[in-house]
Amino acid sequence: MKYIPKLLIYSRLVIGMVIAFLSYLHVAHYNIIAVVLFAIGLLTDIFDGIIARRLNISGEHLRRLDSAIDQVFFVLVALATFIECPSFFYRNGIKLIILLGTEGMAYLVCFLKFRKEVATHAISSKAWTLVLFATLIQIMTTCNSVVLFTICFYAGLLTRLEIIAILLVLRNWTNDVPSVYHAVLLRKGKPIKRHKLFNG
């Protein structure tokens, strides 16, 4: 049982590679296959943490691994979507560069300060993941997204900025920090409450 969370995490990496490979091959009915695989990948992301917490094995190593695989998974899906719908990425290049820049900045701040990768798993970031999921689904199926992508862009900026703020506030590297407010409490040496379903 204790291997299930790690198996789910690594399965997400495999799913991402399969989606990218199928896109590269331009297989028939790619859109349907990619959406189904993407949804399965998202479910593994949800349940790996839940199961790990149920088994009481949600330690630093697992949370760091989860964050790293998440990044690779979404990069692979984005790459696959770019192969299928390059015109969307060219039209929205500036916004995408800004969004990627803030993501990179969060990782840079974390590495420079703690010599570790980001693993805050903030609640707002989890919500943004769902928006990003919906946005990528829309792009996969229509090669276009206007309103949803705009929401995704600004929500992504705000959540990346919150992560950076959390990292700047924390004295020591800590995984599973729900918000900036919780980071302030940790900085003051006070205990924080984490939701068992999300990052408890």
The confidence score (pLDDT) of residue 24 equals 96
In whole angstroms, what is the distance from residue 49 CA to residue 39 CA? 16
The confidence score (pLDDT) of residue 3 equals 87
Give the pTM.
0.91
CB 136 within 8 A of CB 73: no
Separation in Å, CA 160 to CA 17, 38, 55, 105, 143: 25, 22, 30, 9, 25
Domains of the chain, by residue range, sit at: 1-84, 86-195
In order along its 200 residues, the chain shows pLDDT tens digits of 788 999 999 999 999 999 999 999 999 999 999 999 999 999 999 999 889 888 888 888 898 899 999 999 999 999 999 999 999 999 999 999 999 999 999 999 999 999 999 999 999 999 999 999 999 999 999 999 999 999 999 999 999 999 999 999 999 999 999 999 999 999 999 988 876 666 55
In whole angstroms, what is the distance from residue 49 CA to residue 58 CA? 7
In whole angstroms, what is the distance from residue 171 CA to residue 106 CA? 16
